[in-house]
Structure 1
Amino acid sequence: MSFTRLTALACAALACIAAAPPAASAPGANPVKAGVDAWGRKDFTGAVRAWRPLADKGDADAQFNMGQAYKLGRGVPADLKIAQSWYQKAAQQGHDQAQANLGLLLFQNGKQFDAMPWIRKAADRGDARAQYVLGTAMFNGDFVPQDRARAYALMTRASAQGLPPAANNLAQMDKHMAQADKTRGIALARQMEAAAKQPNPAAMARADLPRAGSVLKPAEPVKPKPAPAPAAKAATKAPQPAAAPAAGGRWQVQLGAYNSPDAARAQWSKLGKLSALSGFTPSYQPAGKFTRLRVGPIASKSAADGVCAAAKAAGQACFPVAP
């Protein structure tokens, strides 16, 4: 059962972006904070003038703020492509709100498959908009494997944070879900709530830096802290070699769901060049208003896991599909 399609949901969630004021980095006399103050006075041109040089130098908060300016058309002409580019720069540095806004913007623009990794990151950190979209995707089985218990948990958390459309979807889930899935979902939601209350070392390192939802008051001067040293990246495990296509194999892997068969074929024209996917045959399967892109044939689940591991190592999301 698919109670609401994701495109409409993403548009509703994306509306929350416009309401988010810009973020200030280290408090005190600095250009990012000065730009936030200018924004608060509705001097949008002055705010952009303060942020742009910092954004060009790689300041994540300034980059996020530039994305907000281009998204809203304040101080600069509205341009969603430029807004997306600034969100992406900040998101790649781990900026929470930029990751959420980037995922939602990609989703609204029909790039749902590209959006889901960013939406997952934001949902894992408790962003209600991302939980709302990811929960619906998991309930419908679009763009991600279907998991109705986790979908119920995500929608519960989004609703608890005051997102009205989440409450509506949760009510519909209650009508159509098995009690066992709801019971598991409630338990997962409690775990998520408990985890959200635990101290987050990464967040604590920047606890004095207000994010998109808050702006420092001028009466609260605090000495800026030095920027923390970049954390060492954990060593990544080398992926297993991908399996070759197996004649007569019944397993497949799914590489995404798109707005039309033409969009799915266009994506395959790009993905088919990856060595991990070379030689496989694509199939385009209708799923409501969407078309799922799957490839095969693959002999077994372990072989499908190998294909996905190699695809993911190349930056392509992927999951096995049972016969």
Structure 2
Amino acid sequence: MKNAYLAGAVAAVFVAGVAGADVKQGVDAWSRGDYKAAVDIWRPLAAAGDSDAQFNLGQAFKLGRGVPASLPTAIEWFRKAAAQGHNQAIDNYGLALFQDGKKTEALPWLEKSVARGERRAQLVLGTMLFNADGVPRDWVRAYALVNRSSQQGLPQASQTLAQMDQYIPEAQRQEGLTLARKYEADSRALATRLPATPTGGTVSGTTTPPRVATTPPAAAVRAAPMPTPTRTASPAPAKAAAPTPAAPAATGGAWRIQLGAFRDASNARSLWAKVGSRTGGSPAYVAAGGVTRLQATGFASRSAAQQACTKAGVSCVVVAP
């Protein structure tokens, strides 16, 4: 199971800095598929301390394009750029350290990424907290972080939440949802204090942005390491195995439930096709801040909406009128 839920988490994004026209030339070469030329351009700039070039060179070693694949070398270049405050390098450094089994070293960098609302780091750290994988178990915070990742449209996070729902008691899930809302507010406040993205911004390295491997499976949550200090601390198997009754049909009330938020509206429709019938509600696709929020509408009360959330089988938030 080592690294099972990190595979594919390090996205391949390449940066062209404002002051480094040569870095941009390397990005252009990469986009043409001339990986060796890109690496040749970035290498001396990275050695001279250019954080964009260091980050891009780390990506090249991570993916094995233009150079032999080498995770340790990629980690070293990510480290150099992260030490200069390069946010994308911070994200990839923490994820790559975890992938390399260096969980203690990865933790402070994952925390930095989580503080900025980075959804991949939220999923990884949340799953670590759930499984007590290199950190003390904390189901409330685990649920909050994976919920935030799911709300930002990461499909693997939604799958992981569905698994967490089988183990985390309702009271702790509700605490997690409250904490998730606080994290969202905190990350928005932090975003207003961060400097704007420089002109030149972020460009993809190829026509189809490459991935490290396949997308992380829903098996991020492992059933084996559940705490067992007493029998009452473990989930009740009988309840987990019981058939799930259908959600009551919505009655046209004003209460809603939110099932997710997606940058791609087609993903919202896809999720509704999978779980919508379980809710008993009607779909609503609400555009907000560049994302589409998938909601089920028509519930007469909070308790009816909460029951529909439970029947949906995915992470869900009740929305008051």
Give TM-score, length-normalised by structure 1.
Answer: 0.59
Q: Give the match for residue 139 of structure 2.
A: 148
Q: How many residues align?
A: 209
Which of 8, 14, 19 aligns to 1:22? It is 14
**Residue 70 of structure 1 contacts residue 82 of structure 1 at CA under 8 Å; is this kept in 2?**
yes
The answer as to 2:62 corresponding to 1:66 is: no
The answer as to 2:4 corresponding to 1:8 is: yes
Q: Are the structure 2 counterparts of residues 6 and 70 from structure 1 closer, same or farther at C-alpha, using a change threshold of 3 Å?
A: closer
**Residue 23 of structure 1 contacts residue 210 of structure 1 at CA under 8 Å; is this kept in 2?**
yes
How far apart in 1 are the matches of 2:51 and 2:77? 9
How far apart in 1 are the matches of 2:51 and 2:128? 29
RMSD: 2.5
How far apart in 1 are the matches of 2:102 and 2:27? 31
How far apart in 2 are the matches of 1:163 and 1:41? 29
Q: Deviations over 1:261-281 (max 9, x none)?
A: xxxxxxxxxxxxxxxxxxxxx
How far apart in 2 are the matches of 1:100 and 1:158? 14
How far apart in 2 are the matches of 1:6 and 1:180? 30
Q: Are the structure 2 counterparts of residues 77 and 142 from structure 1 closer, same or farther at C-alpha, using a change threshold of 3 Å?
A: closer
What is the CA distance between 1:53 and its match in structure 2? Answer: 1.6
Q: Are the structure 2 counterparts of residues 155 and 102 from structure 1 closer, same or farther at C-alpha, using a change threshold of 3 Å?
A: same
Question: Higher RCO, 1 or 2 (CA under 8 Å, sep at least 6)?
Answer: 2
Flag structure 1 segments of 5+ consecutive residues without an equivalent: 216-286, 290-323
The percent identity for this pair of structures is: 49
Q: Deviations over 1:8-64 (max 9, x none)?
A: 112x3xx132x423111117x711111111111112122112211211111111100
Flag structure 2 segments of 5+ consecutive residues without an equivalent: 207-223, 227-321
How far apart in 1 are the matches of 2:115 and 2:25? 32
The answer as to 2:118 corresponding to 1:127 is: yes
What is the CA distance between 1:135 and its match in structure 2? Answer: 0.4
SS in 1 for 2:14: coil
Give TM-score, length-normalised by structure 2.
Answer: 0.59
The answer as to 2:82 corresponding to 1:91 is: yes
SS in 2 for 1:22: strand
Q: Are the structure 2 counterparts of residues 202 and 52 from structure 1 closer, same or farther at C-alpha, using a change threshold of 3 Å?
A: farther
What is the CA distance between 1:213 and its match in structure 2? Answer: 5.8
How far apart in 2 are the matches of 1:184 and 1:72? 39
What is the CA distance between 1:175 and its match in structure 2? Answer: 2.1
SS in 2 for 1:76: coil
How far apart in 2 are the matches of 1:47 and 1:214? 10
How far apart in 2 are the matches of 1:148 and 1:197? 24
